[in-house]
Amino acid sequence: MTPDAALAPVIASHRFGLSQTSLASVGPDPRAWVMAQLRQPALFDAAGLPDSADAAAMTRNLLRLADPQSDERQRLRDANLQSLRRRWQHQIETPTPVYERWVMFWANHFTVAATKGTTLGMVWPFENEAIRPHATGRFVALLRAATVHPGMLLYLDNAQSVGPDSQQGQRRGRGLNENLARELLELHTVGVRGGYTQADVRELARLLTGWTTRRASRTGPGFVAALHDPGSKQVMGRRYAEGPQALDEVLDDLARHPATASHLADKLVRHFVADDAPPALAQAVARRFQDTDGDLLQVADALFSHELAWAAHRPGKVRRPEELLLAAHRMLQIPMGPPERSVAALTAMGQPLGRAPSPQGWPDRQDDWIGPDALLKRVEWAVAMGRASAGLADARQLAELAWGPALSSDSRQQIARAESGAQALALMLACPEFQRR
């Protein structure tokens, strides 16, 4: 399976990016095009959007009200839609779509979902405040930002965790919550095969007590000593003294653990390249992670510069519904209007945005997204998109510009034989080249 120079622009555009209208925009050096975006990304402007403090205030007001149809619920819904529309518009217009894909990966790795009352408004502030500022820095900085963000502390219940022997624990009789500790080990760092035990989970949960949200100010998370379980804690063979400094110490050790490098490398390769990650590629990415102390820009370079990342892995990764939506808008150069209809379409295709089914985030394998009903929903979306966009582009010409020699003869013939412009666009959006990357 050797890289094909003629396919490199196609892979850059569709596998690593969000689909260019024309392969010519990739330029003569597709690998340089990819890495330049990570080195100098077009940053997202979140000015004026609700932040985590705004979201927390709106949620507290909502939870105090008995009427679930209150104006406060509508205010929170509008705030979420405003953030989503701004984010989508940026991703549609950005000259650095590879960077957006990179951000989307890490936001999914550190999932926060609006599946409980306290996190209804936290998904987009979490991405803007914890993920985007650290996506190409050192992993340990990203790990810390994600771990102590109010969204994560609320989603995985650490804000309610109380050390059993702490001042507040003895007074209130409240107890330890292990959710954040478990996911920090199983999902965020060393992985399920990382060698930790249930005793490590409990000890890490004790270490994390005291890290909670501050309701009376806009200062975000903080450490409350009265909630912190006293005494030292031992996590995966290392002992940590009581106090807030233990958080940075344990996160630094977990970030440097060899199992973390392997776990993250496997996930990155599986997401960006193939369901069955080529071992040599995953090993190269893990080695660069360890050699650079988790420098994520260097990790990206190891991934995107490796020849196996540019090989033709058949049949290709299945795009998640949100990726389909963004790629269609980018290729057709359609601005994002009011997002309600698109949100409904994504939900119908199995991705209710902001509401990932578990802390594992959205799944990443073909079997999770492709089945008889899922395929029908994707075709229905393609037909609706084709009808709405029929006058905006000639699908026959656009398909040639976007895929060139990589467009199969079957797809080319079906698009060419379409009875109308709307049908041609629908066939293009439903073809394997668009549905996969």
CB atoms within 10 A of CB 361: 18
Distance separating alpha carbons of residues 163 and 161, to the nearest angstrom: 7
Look up residue 371 and give its two tokens: 């089945």
Over the chain, what is the mean pLDDT? 95
pLDDT at 119 over 80: yes
- Report pLDDT digits (tens) over 298-325: 999 999 999 999 999 888 999 999 999 9
Look up residue 207 and give its two tokens: 């270490």
pLDDT at 348 over 70: yes
DSSP reduced 3-state for 39 = helix
Look up residue 389 and give its two tokens: 């966009």
pLDDT at 4 over 60: yes
Distance separating alpha carbons of residues 388 and 420, to the nearest angstrom: 13
In the chain, the percentage of residues whose pLDDT exceeds 90 is 90
- The end-to-end CA distance of the chain, in Å, is 17
Look up residue 80 and give its two tokens: 């979420």
With contact defined as beta carbons under 8 Å apart, do 402 and 284 qualify? Answer: no
pLDDT at 108 over 70: yes
What are the CA-CA distances from residue 410 to residues 359, 377, 431 (Å)? 40, 22, 9
pLDDT at 185 over 50: yes
Distance separating alpha carbons of residues 375 and 321, to the nearest angstrom: 11
Domain borders along the chain are 318-435
pLDDT of residue 65: 76
Distance separating alpha carbons of residues 353 and 183, to the nearest angstrom: 21
pLDDT of residue 3: 52
Distance separating alpha carbons of residues 209 and 167, to the nearest angstrom: 12
- Report pLDDT digits (tens) over 405-433: 999 999 999 999 999 999 999 999 999 99
What single-letter amino acid sits at 8? A
Distance separating alpha carbons of residues 15 and 368, to the nearest angstrom: 18
pLDDT of residue 2: 44
Stretch 348-373: mean pLDDT: 96
Q: How confident is the model at residue 6 (pLDDT cuts 50, 70, 90)?
A: confident
- Report pLDDT digits (tens) over 31-52: 999 999 999 999 999 999 999 9
- Report pLDDT digits (tens) over 81-94: 999 999 999 999 99
pLDDT of residue 219: 52
Distance separating alpha carbons of residues 195 and 236, to the nearest angstrom: 8
Give the global pTM: 0.96
pLDDT of residue 245: 97
pLDDT of residue 216: 44
With contact defined as beta carbons under 8 Å apart, do 349 and 328 qualify? Answer: no
Stretch 281-286: mean pLDDT: 98
pLDDT at 173 over 90: no
Q: How confident is the model at residue 218 (pLDDT cuts 50, 70, 90)?
A: low
pLDDT at 214 over 90: no
Q: Which of 430, 389, 406 is nearest to 12 (CA)?
A: 406
- Report pLDDT digits (tens) over 53-80: 999 999 988 888 766 667 888 999 999 9
pLDDT of residue 64: 83
pLDDT of residue 68: 60
Distance separating alpha carbons of residues 29 and 242, to the nearest angstrom: 52
